[in-house]
Amino acid sequence: MNREFEKRSKTVFHVLSLLVKIDQRIVFLGGSAIQALFEKPKRLSIDLDISYPGEILNIIKSLEEEGYAVKQRQSRNPNFLFYTISKGGVIVKLDISRFVIPETEKHNVSGTEVRIPKKCYFLAAKLSSLSFGTIGCFEAEPVQVIKDIFDIDCLLGIGVDLDHMANDWKHITSDQNKLRGTGFSEVQCAKSAQSALLRCIEVAPLPDFFIPSSALGSFEDSLVRGRITRPELATMAARALLLLVSMGNGFYELEKTISSDSQDRNKLDEAEQTLVKRGVLDAKQIRTIKLTAPRALSYLRCWSEKQV
């Protein structure tokens, strides 16, 4: 793990403890908040994302009193305020969203009691971040894309209750449209996330990968242990893709079938033929996925059948 990264991650939680003392309405968001849900986090983060409808100057003043230098970064929308804070040579990004989270719950995060969104809302929010061109992030930055997909996979790994996910997706779509002055439908937003996820399932050599090797390497600096390979990312992305069309606890039932099918050669051959016929991805990509990430192929087939 990158030592500098570790220092910055510790600063994130120190600053969070200061902010919560200023105003308990602050809601902890983003990948740092998701990983804080786990007894043993799988990755660290150097960003601090919060939701806060109050007076921003109070936050800035309090941080400066604690010795932090605060510098505002450019934002395309007044409802999203971005800052860089630094102290002792350690730099952290503080991103503030000016919208209200519908349902939160209190958690003890590094010794501080803080509000975070419910896990299902987190899943919907992470998917919405990938909806580029609609309600997602303004730019498809590869390392951030990997983080979002990784966090989705972590949440699904602990069996988050998905009963209210469709409602959370609807709520997030509505909120983001209001904040941006847009009118994208839930389907349009899902389609844009779908497009990004499909590009992350590339495993066969291409002239230009959407997720370059350098991005995978940079992301690994944040991992508590181990590394992530392109086939592993493809499997995570395919899993998130299926979630887009199966926002409910039935998703986990589908996964049981997928687990079995991904170990059955005949089922994999059928999946390859089906996906090639439907033109889901290039035939070479599909063949390589079958060989290097068979579970991703099974997710893809299940997703494609839900599309019909």
Predicted pLDDT at 138 = 84
Which domains does the chain carry? 1-117 (3.30.460.40), 118-308 (no CATH)
* Beta carbons of 96 and 80 less than 8 angstroms apart: yes
- The confidence score (pLDDT) of residue 98 equals 83
Q: How confident is the model at residue 2, as a pLDDT? A: 65
pLDDT at 6: 76
Among the listed residues 290, 186, 199, the one whose alpha carbon sits nearest the alpha carbon of residue 244 = 186
Report the Cα 228 to chain-centroid distance in Å.
15
Q: How high is the pLDDT of residue 1? A: 52
Judged on CB neighbours under 10 Å (0-12, 13-18, 19+), 40 is exposed
**CA angle at residue 262 from 257 to 266, to 5 degrees?**
100
User: What is the pTM (predicted TM-score) of this model?
Assistant: 0.90
Q: Backbone dihedral region of 196: left (phi > 0), alpha (psi from -120 to 50 degrees) or beta?
A: alpha
Q: Which parts of the chain sit beneath pLDDT 50?
A: none
Residue 125: which residues within 8 A CB-CB, separation 6 or more?
29, 117, 168, 172
The whole-number pLDDT of residue 14 equals 87
